[in-house]
Chain A
Amino acid sequence: MALLSIQNLWVSFGGLVALHGVSMDVEEGRIFSIIGPNGAGKTTIFNCISGIYKPTKGKVIFRDREITGKKSHYSAGMGIARTFQNIELFGHLTTIDNLLLGRHIHMKSGVFSGAFFFGKSFPAAREECHHREVVERIIEFLEIEAYRNSLVSSLPYGIRKLVELGRALAMEPTLLLLDEPTAGMNQEEKRDMMFWIRDIRDDFKVTIIMVEHDMNLVMDVSDEIMALNFGVKLVQGTPEQVRNDPQVLEAYLGRD
């Protein structure tokens, strides 16, 4: 059974149908990309997986469990992490606090243990220290040490993208959804990102689904690609297959 399986997914917003019965399977350990023109429904699929939208019809099955229509935090608890197209960071928190929020599902302290600790040996304090250590390693991995204690709203765009990625990694997810990870980056940064995506898959043993416009990156990095157009699945296959598909060329890439 695939790690994530989407079956006949329909989504509509007040009469406007965004997804027309899309199905897809993602095997564990792969990098799976979704491409398609704007408004094709790529982000909508993400939103269905991570529980922001409730599909009108169809199923989302993750690790043999149905998560259709479950709230975001539920799927997060199941091990699905994501980044956002337009960066959704916690602007009034520092980088380290943002990353610590990624550890939220792995932490236990509640109101009372959190409010009353008076030394290192209290469980809340111990837990806090432990997770700070974990986060520290992610900071190292992404090379954002210099920004550890800065408010994220004051960071440059590229760094914020990284922090967001780091925050998703801190969740130690099984499945990572990347929504346009290189949007707004220059070629150099994009290339870095490419390496990182591969490293993340290998080092963290994560399955990655990403939505991306940069064809070069998509073709290079992905194991499998699905092309969408107006909510309809055009084709799914290896980069080569997709690159040469006439429908994809027509709808998306254009013929130069």
Chain B
Amino acid sequence: MLELKNVEIYYGKIMVVRGLSLKVEEGEIRAILGANGAGKSTTLKTIMGYIEDQPEKGSIWFEEERIDGMKTEKIVPRGIAYVPEGREVFPELTVRENLMMGAYTRKDRDVDTDLVKVFDYFSVIKDRLKQLAGTLSGGEQQMLAIARALMSRPKLMILDEPSLGLSPLLVSEIFEIIRSINRAGTTILLVEQNARKALSIADHAFIMESGRIVLEGSPEKLSENEDVQEFYLGVRQETSVKGYQRYKRKKRWR
């Protein structure tokens, strides 16, 4: 459905993504994992056409159509919805207006049925249609952002760190919703730092480090990998650091 072929992205003069290729198949949830600065968000922004003149090299295909170099407003109507990192709602628009903006590119007038559909996933939102989005709590804003993206009836939904800054309970809830959206037929591409959660719902995952995909495969396969366990899943967490010998001796001041 979505395919990146050997993509190279520069940010200013610095190469951020080096020869990235990945594929998202229809009906799947795919996750990209990786630390800060690995180039995950940049990749997503490039797919969405945010970064001018990028990618420098390579191509991006969506449903047999080349979309790199296209403007965002041309990409969205083709069926990709993007939920940016950090709950980017329109704070001074009402919840309803926010949702309407999600349907901006749609020409048909049948928005109301979609609203009903969205309420199925997010019951909280229904009662708050007239409230300003800025007054919602963090979790509600994240839900609104996802709901808004749904309004464009996307074939593919791209989420950038939906769990960022949310409490464990809310994270579980949101991931549950993502899974049900997927079951209803929307393909999902997810970028996450919370590897544990992401792997629990993904069909296939990529691990990205400094602009490259270093590992990919099914969640099971990845979970078995030792490096992944150590650096992404924090498996040794149950034993406390208190008992550990520090591997780095810090210099003392004074």
Contacts and interface: CB of A to CB of B under 8 A. Distances in A.
Interface of A: 16, 36-40, 137-138, 140-141, 143, 156-158, 183-192, 194-196, 199, 203-204, 213, 215-216, 219-221, 251-254
B138 A252 contact: no
A39 B138 contact: yes
B251 A141 contact: yes
Nearest to A214: B234
Contact of A216 (B35, B165, B231, B237): B237
B33 to A, nearest CB: 10
A203 B254 contact: yes
A156 B37 contact: yes
B242 A220 contact: yes
Contacts of B167: 36-38, 40, 213, 252
Contact of B232 (A36, A140, A187, A252): A187
A198 B151 CA distance: 48
A221 B244 CA distance: 13
Contact of A252 (B135, B168, B233, B248): B168
B113 interface: no
Nearest to B229: A187
Contacts of A251: 169
A186 B250 contact: no
- Candidate in A184, A196, A251 with the most chain B CB atoms within 10 angstroms: A184
A185 B36 contact: yes
Interface string B141-182: 000000000000000000000001111111010000000000
Contacts of A203: 252-254
A158 to B, nearest CB: 7
B25 interface: no
19 contacts: A38-B137, A38-B138, A39-B137, A138-B253, A140-B251, A141-B253, A156-B36, A157-B37, A158-B36, A183-B165, A186-B231, A189-B35, A194-B241, A196-B250, A203-B252, A203-B253, A204-B253, A220-B242, A252-B167
**Chain B interface secondary structure, helix, strand, loop or mixed?**
loop
B193 A141 contact: no
Interface in B123-142: 135, 137-139
B230 interface: yes
A88 to B, nearest CB: 16
B170 A199 contact: no
Interface string B187-224: 00000010000000000000000000000000000000
Contacts of A221: 241
Interface of B: 35-37, 135, 137-139, 164-170, 172, 193, 230-234, 237, 240-242, 246, 248, 250-254
Contacts of B166: 37-38
B158 to A, nearest CB: 20
A37 B234 contact: no
Given A38-B138, A195-B241, A204-B253, A184 B168 contact: no
Query: What are the 7 A-B residue pairs with the smallest beta carbon separation, nearest first?
Result: A37-B167, A186-B35, A38-B138, A254-B169, A39-B137, A216-B237, A187-B234
B138 A191 contact: no
A186 B165 contact: no
Contacts of A186: 35-36, 193, 231-232
A236 B103 CA distance: 46
